[in-house]
Amino acid sequence: MAETLVKAKPPPNLNIPQSNHTVKVSVIDATCRLRLPMKTLLQPEYTGNENLEGPCLAFLIEHPARKPILFDLGIRKDWDQLRSYERIARLGWWVNVEKNVATILKENGVDVDGGAIESIIWSHHHWDHVGDPSTFPGSTELVVGPGFKEAHMPGYPTREDSPLLDTDFKGRNTREIDFQKEGGGLKIGRFNAFDYFGDGSFYLLDTPGHTIGHICGLARTSTGPDTFIFMGGDAAHHGGEFRPTEYLPIPKELDPSPLKRRGGVCPGHLLEEVHAHGVADKPFYYVTKSFAYDKKLADWTLDGLGEFDCHDNILALMAHDNDTVDPPQLDFYPDSANDWHQKGTAKKLKWLFLGAYDGAVEAKQKGEKPFVWGQT
């Protein structure tokens, strides 16, 4: 690990069970792009970082003895059919979608209509993750987190207040994971866990707070050494929500510099100086109350996410991580991402989010305040 501005605490033991089984993980760029104001979602407001921008990542998970499964679907191409379409338009959020995930799979030879996909796992119910399940046959089941059915089913118009559609569920089984009953008391890190295939190759994690029933995925991508991809959904929306931490402080030097106005090596103290608390071992952002179903639980989950992210053998990918795309910083579908560790993908991605504070650093150097507090 690179030398840091403050001494890092040893990474916590996550107690991931031993296994010799892996899955093949492909990260799907679901051809969606979003841009929306940051200030109502995360605080404080850093100069030059007024918008939250990013893709919608989905994941294809292939087990050697089962049909493939999907984790999230991004945004449906006909997103004007969304229940939240009028609200999105009224707020002035920018949304662009080129294809449904089902189309992307078909273009790469997957027999979607023939039932090639066993299950679709939804991290949660929001419109930018559920896609359009009706583009998959009824044999493809939906898998959701605790409390989902009571909170969100049935869909509209059967249930007038549902953010989802009847067509999302029509003709298919919707399975809600009971972590206490099905997980058998298993915990990975601080989270209740469920061994999805029963062989230690892929786990679902109960990660509450952002919404009712929010879940994450943890896939074992190699053994000897063990490596994992953490599929974060919306447990976080920006790297600054869970980095830096006491286990992963800001490096003393960042090479190459993530700041666009500064080439070469970037001294870490420049980022510490624009941090709202002037520290090197706490995240840059806090989630606002309006952006979380339960802020206390959301903060607890973010702390837990930081406990995973600090491990060198875990690649943490949030659904809207803008640093993964344009240009691509990892191998996207149809390629496998399993060799991410050998390629140093996590090291390459880890601190790229600091480029968002380029304007804050410039403001600080001009003697101006690099951030302001707004809604919390």
* Residue 4 resides in a domain: no
Question: What's the rounded Cα separation, in Å, for the pair 176 and 151?
Answer: 12
Over the stretch 238-284, which tens digit does the pLDDT of each residue have? 999 999 999 999 999 999 999 988 778 999 999 999 999 999 999 99
Residue 6 falls inside a structural domain: no
CB-side neighbour CA atoms (13 Å) of 106: 11
Q: Closest by alpha carbon to 352, among 226, 237, 245, 260?
A: 260
Residue 63 has pLDDT above 80, yes or no: yes
User: Domain for residue 5, yes or no?
Assistant: no
Whether 17 is covered by a domain: the verdict is no
| Residue 2 belongs to some domain of the structure | no
Tally of domains within the chain: 1
- Position 23, amino acid: V
Stretch 78-95: mean pLDDT, rounded?
A: 91
User: Is there a domain that residue 144 lies in?
Assistant: yes
Does 8 map to a domain?
no
- Torsion angles phi and psi, residue 286, rounded to 5: -120, 145
| pLDDT score, position 376 | 56
Range of the structural domain that residue 359 is part of: 24-372
> Who wins on pLDDT, 260 or 300?
300
Q: Are 120 and 69 in contact (CB under 8 A)?
A: yes
**Segment 8-21 mean pLDDT:** 97
Q: What is the pLDDT of residues 173-187, one digit of tens each?
A: 999 999 999 999 999
CATH of the domain at 356: 3.60.15.10
Take residue 68 and report the two structure tokens written for it.
Answer: 């493939």
Is 12 a domain residue?
A: no
Q: Binning pLDDT at 50, 70 and 90, where does residue 343 land?
A: very high
89 token code pair: 């338009």
Residue 323: CB partners within 8 Å, gap ≥ 6? 239, 329, 349, 352, 353, 355
Percent of the chain scored above 70 by pLDDT? 99
